[in-house]
Amino acid sequence: MFDTDGSITKDKRGDHAATATVRFTSTSLNLTEDVKEVLGSLGYISTISTDERKDKYTTGICYNLSVNMPNSDKYKLFSLQRKRDIALSVKDKKQQKKYDRTSIREIKDLGYKEEMTCFLVDNEEHLFLMNDCIVTHNTRTLTERIRYIIQSNKGKPEDMVAICFTNQAASEMYSRLGKLGEKMFIGTIHSYANKLCTFNGLDTE
């Protein structure tokens, strides 16, 4: 599809000479969104913009999908030799931008609460895909929040408690935090309840 409705062009600006711009163009919004979804499932971020010119397009509008991906992968989208050659010409050129992550731009209070469920995916990194193919990790957000609190001196490890759904998730958090988490409690709600009971002299056996 990128051989026919896609394009790749070398950026002639001096500060962008080490890359090439990849786009997919169609007058069909559904098709453009489908391509965006497939790219997202492969780990590539893309954005859709519109070109509204009734004198040029039969539908009066065209959709441009700009693909953000590392130079090393761009050639994989093309089999047409002239386009593939352009992609190969930048394949080994380093880029300052990192394409293996995304960022949070805004957090909104939706005005309601939902019960959350913690689970552990059975793969080496325990990662899974959320909406828009965003890669996430149940314990990662909590881990990084704890790291931030400790490193910014907003809380002491010995005064902090992190509740996880499974003992395996707790072990994962301890591993990720390293020495920062040595003095804090990380575990399931059951193990924390048991700790409170034994601390207060109650027999839980």
Closest Cα to residue 43, out of 83, 8, 20, 76? Answer: 76
Q: Which residues pair with 45 in a beta bridge?
A: 68
Instruction: Check pLDDT > 60 for residue 78.
Output: yes
The three-class DSSP label of residue 80 is coil
Regarding pTM above 0.75, the answer is no
What is the C-alpha to C-alpha distance for residues 187 and 169, in angstroms, rounded to an integer? Answer: 8
What is the pLDDT confidence band of residue 13, given thresholds at 50, 70 and 90?
Answer: low
* pLDDT at site 120: 65
Task: Give CATH superfamily name and number for 2-89.
Answer: Homing endonucleases (3.10.28.10)
Which pLDDT band holds residue 137 (cuts at 50, 70, 90)? low
Q: Could you tell me the two tokens for 61?
A: 């509008």
The crossing angle, in degrees rounded to 10, of helices 138-151 and 167-177 is 40
> Which tokens hold the place of 133?
């193919």
In terms of pLDDT, which residue wins out, 203 or 40?
40
> Where does CATH 3.10.28.10 sit in the chain?
2-89
Residue 139 pLDDT: 67
